[in-house]
Amino acid sequence: MIELFSFGDAGWGDELARGLATTLILAVVCFATGTLIGLMLMLLRRRGRFSRMLVELYVTVLRGVPELLVIYLFFFGTGIFVRNVAASFGYTDYINLSGFFLAALALTCITAAYSAEVFRGAARSIPTGQAEAARAFGFTPVKTFRLIELPQLLVVALPGLGNIWLILLKDTALVSLTSVAELMRQSSVAAGATFRPFTFYAVAALIYFIISMLSERAVLLAERRVAIVEKS
Amino acid sequence: MEWHLFLDYIPKLLLGVPITLGLLAGALVLGVTLGAGLCYMRTTKVPVLGWIATGYISLFRGTPLLVQLFAIYFGLGQFEIIRESFAWPLLREAWFCAFLTLGLNSAAFTSEIIRGGLLGLEKGQLEAAKAFGFSNWNNLRFIILPQLLRISIPSYSNEIILVLKGTSLASTISLLEITGLAKKLASKNFTPFEAFISAGIVYLVIVFVLTFLMRQLERRLEH
């Protein structure tokens, strides 16, 4: 049993560890880019009715469609799309986009939609009087946002962002279906090669579970820390 | 993009809707039943039951649905006891494993929704009901359930949508529901864009209908 998970040629320990690293990199990258785009979407909502409708459409679609479908669309569709665009510019060589890149793109789009909603909810908790006061003091809109809104926004959005991180972490497992060699994919390969599917899926589940628990703890600590700052 | 393909694909994908909705309904029924049981386990005075329920809930909420599905569908056959048990004819069926996984998963989330709803109830009401001589059953039926339903409907609507989206994973264990059919169409004709966007449209329509129905129910219960 133990030798199944040893490192080196005999066991699957190193494969799983590499898979875990890919999972974590994927999750961290998509979280960073996704929440940043989500923040921008929230700001875009304020720029008139048309952009608000556009953002709302984006958020509704991305939240209503299964994540797996979005990942399939990017993974199987983008290659054709990019090649068609390139061909219209006269570039006909075969373009190969990495699976990791497409997976990251899909998860980023999903995370952006979810975090736009979190930021929207958080922004509503900040009294409009603050922005008005800032304007009266001669703050530019950018300065108002950076110095007054954003710090409060991040505090209020923290629990919601924590949830998004947990959802994203679990969604990265879907990427295994497009053969990106992350934790779930490596577990599937090991499961098939050793005829011990339950063992490997249980271990994968345990690893995801541990990361989830640690993340939850970290979010709680962060919330508590921020709460103290707020009081003082 | 070949626009006429949408008209061609959407009717074909509709054939998968009964499987998707069947999985959804089955999983929700199992989820509510088991979720209520888990919630009850957490409120009893027996600590072991509470630990089991809490462990179950955090395990199912803290791991990907896909891992759960694969562990059950591909994994359980690893054990001879299960292969020789009475349940094996069911457990080797893809539809049953999809239903079971979605239901077990939804139970964890549903029990948290029920618990949240119960926390929203006022303690005094139960005491008043007891003072009026309400039995436990009547208490549940007339005092707790009506309010619980009303409080929990918004978050439960979310859960329904999450399970609906979860049913798409059934395509990975060979079930031809909406996503499964879309994948087949995409690879058969090499038209991933049209196939997956058509499937997205079908899902969105289902989401809108479900959201509308839940909002109607919410409004009904308010009066």
In tens, the pLDDT along A116-143 reads 999 999 999 888 889 889 989 999 988 9
- Residue A231 has a pLDDT of 53
- Burial status of residue B189 (CB atoms within 10 A of its CB: 0-12, 13-18, 19 or more): middle
Q: Give the residue on B whose Cα is nearest the Cα of A64.
A: B204
> In this predicted model, what pLDDT tens digit does every residue of A26-49 receive, in sequence order?
999 999 999 999 999 999 998 899
Say whether residue B62 is in contact with chain A using an 8 A CB cutoff: yes
> What's the mean pLDDT in B7-23?
96
CA dihedral A142, A143, A148, A150 (to 10 degrees): 40
State whether residue A10 is helix, strand or coil.
coil
- Burial status of residue A115 (CB atoms within 10 A of its CB: 0-12, 13-18, 19 or more): buried
A164: tokens are: 């998004």
DSSP states along A94-128: -----HHHHHHHHHHHHHHHHHHHHHHHHHHTS-H
Q: Which residues of B touch A209 (CB under 8 A)?
A: 58-59, 62-63
Integer Cα distance of B80 and B93 in angstroms: 17
Q: Which residues of B touch A76 (CB under 8 A)?
A: 186-187, 192, 196
- Burial status of residue B81 (CB atoms within 10 A of its CB: 0-12, 13-18, 19 or more): exposed
Q: Please report, as a single letter, which amino acid is at residue A159.
A: P
Residue A206 has pLDDT above 80, yes or no: yes
Radius of gyration of chain B (CA): 21
- Which residue in A64, A72, A188 is closest to B207 by CB distance? A64
Question: Does residue A103 contact residue A110 with C-beta atoms inside 8 Å?
Answer: no
CA dihedral A103, A106, A107, A113 (to 10 degrees): 180
Q: Tokens 């304020």 — which residue?
A: A46
> In this predicted model, what pLDDT tens digit does every residue of B41-66 receive, in sequence order?
998 888 899 999 999 999 999 999 99
Beta-carbon separation of B76 and A208 below 8 A: no
B133: tokens are: 């001589």
Question: Does residue B108 contact residue B56 with C-beta atoms inside 8 Å?
Answer: yes
> In this predicted model, what pLDDT tens digit does every residue of A84-96 receive, in sequence order?
888 888 777 777 7
- Residue B223 has a pLDDT of 64
Selected residue of A69, A71, A174, A200 to mutate for chain B interface (largest B Cβ count, 10 A)? A69
Integer Cα distance of A115 and A38 in angstroms: 5
- Which residue in B79, B168, B197 is closest to A73 by CB distance? B197
> What's the mean pLDDT in A99-106?
92
ipTM above 0.95? Answer: no
> Measuring CA to CA, which residue among B163, B155, B188 is closest to residue B20?
B163
> Measuring CA to CA, which residue among B154, B145, B170 is closest to residue B24?
B170
Integer Cα distance of B204 and A58 in angstroms: 12
Q: Give the residue on A whose Cα is nearest the Cα of B65.
A: A170
pTM, two decimals, is 0.91
> What's the mean pLDDT in B12-26?
97
Tally Cβ neighbours within 10 Å of residue B212.
Answer: 10
Q: Give the residue on A whose Cα is nearest the Cα of B57.
A: A209
- Burial status of residue B126 (CB atoms within 10 A of its CB: 0-12, 13-18, 19 or more): middle
Integer Cα distance of A76 and B185 in angstroms: 12
- Residue B158 has a pLDDT of 94
Q: Please report, as a single letter, which amino acid is at residue A197.
A: P
Integer Cα distance of B198 and B196 in angstroms: 5
Q: Which residues of B touch A61 (CB under 8 A)?
A: 200, 204
For residue A132, give Cα distances in angstroms to A138, A153, A155.
Answer: 10, 17, 21
Q: What angle do CA B127, B155, B107 make, to 5 degrees?
A: 85
Integer Cα distance of B177 and B27 in angstroms: 15
Q: Please report, as a single letter, which amino acid is at residue B161.
A: I
Q: Tokens 């457990």 — which residue?
A: B91
Q: Which residues of A touch B166 (CB under 8 A)?
A: 66
> What's the mean pLDDT in A63-68?
96
